């Protein structure tokens, strides 16, 4: 008999297990993936955390290793709970659950500080969320904190903390169903090492992510075409925990037809590659323009800061002819592009004139690219491009996570 069984092996699951271990003795984590692929989608992320803070003194609770020199050369600004709440409401178009959102926001700093106390190390996201302006780094968008080592470092830190606190972890253990009756949930049926067994527990926590790795569920809930989406993260998030909960009568909630869908390398593998991590994404589009397979612009690249638009443009790209798009950049912004454009695994085309670019992109010869792009009068002689595909990371909470085909371009 376990006190608590946690289904899942990512950030949420391991944090739930660590919290349970503070008051319970026998805690078990069931991770469907083998140990070498463990960590859920968390392992494929950059390990960034959005927290509310009123200044550097709050951030030092999470990052006590910040030196006086680092603080002196950095403008961290503030990101108050009120700003955080406003952003949540605006980005979700007021669809987020108000009570859950308030819990998330008002406990954000305390939660990450607690994770630090468990041994997870954090640093400032200088390389992702700050610009060097006149010799001083300035953060923007409220996203300041990241786990040391990114997503893989986050999972490593949490795993070591779990083992240190006596938490048992079974790898390659797929939860199949919940053991329940009229009085509640009493355990889990699990398949582990080729054998199906029933585990008894006083409590069960479901933290196994969404259904983004299941093309049938993507199509059922998100609509036709979503089976074509690339999966940014793990191949093991197929919605098992959601199905188990629904099977025993749990109420469905949230936006099931919405998702987190970003621009993703068109020729990336079907599922995430831990060696590449999140570098298949292409998020410098505000510096350039998107065009579809017909050479037409279809989105306002500068509608808002990238932080607030990147997770919804995958859906827009999926709706384009051929389910892909190009990102086009002038050579003058080449130095502004994010590091993800510099990896070897990018689909890129370069041309010295727009007419040549039309041929490079296999667009129709009569496409008036100059008119469609509506570029500034002054153009550099080196437009460059990357092709991409949306990535899938579907989630069924108030805000979901999924992806689809997208194209990228770079200089």
3-state secondary structure 105-157: HHCHHHHHHHHHHCCCCEEECHHHHEEEECCEEEECCCCCEEECCHHHHHHHH
| Span 285-325, pLDDT tens digits | 998 999 898 888 898 898 888 878 888 898 999 999 989 99
pLDDT tens, residue by residue, 337-377:
888 899 889 888 888 888 888 888 876 555 666 666 654 33
Proportion of the chain above pLDDT 90, given as a percent? 59
Asked if 9 and 29 touch (Cβ cutoff 8 Å), the reply is: yes
Instruction: Output the pLDDT for position 410.
Output: 31
Question: Cβ distance 124 to 74 under 8 Å?
Answer: yes
pLDDT of 215 higher than 90: yes
Contact at 8 Å (CB) between 264 and 388?
Answer: yes
Mean pLDDT in residue range 181-195: 96
Quote the pLDDT of residue 367: 64
On the question of pLDDT at 397 being above 90, the answer is no
Find out whether 277 and 150 touch, Cβ atoms under 8 Å: yes
Using one digit for the tens of pLDDT, what is the confidence trace for 40-57?
Answer: 999 999 899 999 999 999
Distance CA 345, CA 279 (A): 9
Please tell me which of 112-126, 218-232, 362-376 the model is most confident about, judged by mean pLDDT: 112-126
Question: Which one of 3.30.70.260, 3.30.365.10, 3.40.50.2300, 3.90.700.10 gives the CATH number of domain 209-411?
Answer: 3.90.700.10
Measured distance CA(257)–CA(239) in Å, rounded: 14
The answer to whether 403 and 213 are in contact (CB under 8 A) is: no
Do 205 and 4 meet the contact criterion of CB atoms below 8 Å apart?
yes
Report whether 278 contacts 319 (CB < 8 A). Answer: no
What the block records as the tokens of 95 is 């669809």
Task: Count the residues in the chain.
Answer: 411
pLDDT (mean) for 87-94: 90
What mean pLDDT is reported for the chain? 87
Q: What band does 407 get if pLDDT is binned at 50, 70 and 90? A: very low
- Mean pLDDT along residues 206-219: 95
Judged by phi (left if over 0) then psi (alpha if -120 to 50, else beta), residue 188 lies in beta
Check residue 227 and report its DSSP letter: G
Q: What is the pLDDT of residues 166-184, one digit of tens each?
A: 999 999 999 999 999 999 9
* Domain chopping of the chain, boundaries: 48-148, 209-411
Q: With 70 as the cut, is the pLDDT of residue 115 above it?
A: yes
**If pLDDT is split at 50, 70 and 90, which confidence band does 406 have?**
very low
Tell me, what's the pLDDT at 278? Answer: 83
Residue of higher predicted confidence among 341 and 408: 341
Under 8 Å between Cβ of 7 and 190: no
pLDDT band (50, 70, 90) for residue 189: very high
More confident residue, 38 or 375: 38
Q: How much is the pLDDT for 378? A: 38
């Amino acid at each position: 008999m376990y006190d608590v069984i946690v289904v899942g092996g990512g950030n949420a699951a391991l944090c739930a297990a660590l919290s349970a271990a503070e008051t319970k003795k026998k805690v078990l984590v069931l991770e469907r993936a083998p140990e070498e692929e463990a960590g859920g989608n968390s392992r494929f992320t950059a390990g960034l955390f959005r927290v509310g803070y009123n200044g550097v003194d709050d951030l030092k609770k999470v990052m006590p290793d910040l030196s006086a020199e680092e603080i002196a050369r950095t403008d961290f600004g503030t990101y108050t709970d009120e700003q955080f709440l406003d952003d949540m409401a605006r980005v979700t178009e007021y669809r987020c659950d108000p009570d859950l959102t308030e819990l998330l926001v008002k406990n954000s700093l305390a939660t990450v500080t607690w994770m630090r106390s468990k041994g997870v190390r954090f640093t400032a996201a200088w390389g992702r969320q700050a610009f060097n302006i006149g010799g001083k780094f300035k953060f923007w968008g409220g996203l300041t904190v990241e786990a040391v080592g990114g997503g893989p470092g986050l999972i490593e830190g949490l795993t070591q903390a779990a083992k240190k606190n006596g938490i048992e972890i079974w790898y390659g253990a797929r939860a199949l169903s919940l053991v329940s009756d009229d009085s509640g949930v009493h355990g889990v049926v699990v398949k582990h090492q080729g054998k199906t067994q029933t585990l008894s527990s006083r409590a069960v926590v479901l933290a196994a992510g969404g259904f983004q790795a299941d093309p049938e569920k993507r199509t059922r809930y998100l609509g036709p075409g979503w089976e074509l989406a690339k999966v940014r993260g793990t191949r093991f998030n197929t919605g098992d925990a959601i199905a188990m909960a629904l099977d025993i009568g749990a109420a469905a909630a949230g936006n099931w037809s919405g998702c987190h869908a970003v621009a993703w390398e068109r020729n990336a593998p079907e599922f995430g590659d831990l060696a590449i991590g999140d570098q298949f994404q292409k998020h410098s589009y505000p510096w350039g323009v998107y065009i579809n397979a017909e050479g037409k612009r279809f989105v306002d690249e500068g509608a808002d800061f990238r932080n607030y638009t990147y997770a919804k443009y995958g859906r827009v790209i999926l709706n384009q002819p051929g389910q892909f798009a190009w990102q086009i950049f002038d050579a003058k912004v080449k130095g502004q592009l994010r590091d993800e454009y510099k990896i070897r695994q990018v689909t890129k085309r370069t041309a010295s004139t727009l007419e040549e670019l039309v041929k490079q992109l296999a667009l129709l010869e009569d496409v008036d690219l100059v008119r469609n792009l509506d570029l500034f009068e002054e153009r550099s002689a080196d437009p460059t491009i990357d092709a991409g595909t949306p990535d899938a990371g579907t989630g069924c909470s108030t805000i979901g996570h999924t992806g689809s085909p997208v194209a990228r371009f770079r200089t």
